[in-house]
Amino acid sequence: MSALHADAVQVLSGWVATDDEQERLRSAYLDHLARHPDGLHRTCVPAHLTASALVVDADATSVLLTLHSKGGFWGQLGGHCEAGDTSLAGAALREATEESGIEGLRLARSTPVDLDRHQLSSAFGSCREHLDVRYVVVAPRGARAVVSAESDALRWFPPDALPPEAVADLSRLVRRGLAAVTV
């Protein structure tokens, strides 16, 4: 068992779900990991765990969203775990740093704030379903985002003015993410 796989099992085993749906997802993710030693890698098809991060500004008044180039939707930053990742939180932080170009991002807390299982279009190749584990990271004051090859745009949004083209559950993630930062 890889260090990343062991971390994912430990994180999800100890995570306290906020409602019945989140508990159902937590249980399904653990079942997936028990059945698939490679369940965190993109080679595990059609489904695998991914790690993402909602980037919150230093004042917790805006969130950084990406206009995903493959999906054409606004959402949090994140993606596939890589060979060098040893933790889900580290993978989420790495993805957020790579996709935002912002140095000095920090995890708001070491545990996830949300889980989301979503289907993918054929634009994503052999990936058909992501079992996303979502974290919150805080950007340093005055952080400026730089668009990466994985997105068409990056923009800061106030939590009460999210774009209409956002992923369906973004408002839930933003609500939970901001609560994690301000607690």
* Nearest-angstrom CA–CA distance, 128 and 122: 8
pLDDT at residue 169, rounded to an integer: 86
CATH number of the domain that residue 19 is part of: 3.90.79.10
- Contact partners, residue 99, CB within 8 Å, separation at least 6: 66, 77, 78, 79, 148, 150, 151, 154
Are residues 151 and 66 in contact, defined by beta-carbon separation less than 8 angstroms? yes
Report residue 55: phi and psi, to 5°.
-90, 125
DSSP assignment, residue 166?
B
Structural domain that includes position 26: 3-182
pLDDT at residue 125, rounded to an integer: 59
Number of domains in the chain: 1
pLDDT at residue 1, rounded to an integer: 62
pLDDT at residue 118, rounded to an integer: 75
* Nearest-angstrom CA–CA distance, 172 and 168: 9
State the burial class of residue 8 (Cβ atoms within 10 Å of its Cβ: 0-12, 13-18, 19+).
buried
HEC string of 9-44 equals HHHHHHCCCCCHHHHHHHHHHHHHHHHCCCCCCCCC
Per-residue pLDDT in tens (0 to 9) along the chain, 183 residues: 699 999 999 999 999 999 999 999 999 999 999 999 999 998 988 888 999 999 999 999 999 999 987 778 899 999 899 999 999 999 999 999 999 999 999 999 999 999 999 765 555 556 668 889 999 999 999 999 999 887 789 999 999 999 988 888 899 999 999 999 975
Length reported for the chain = 183
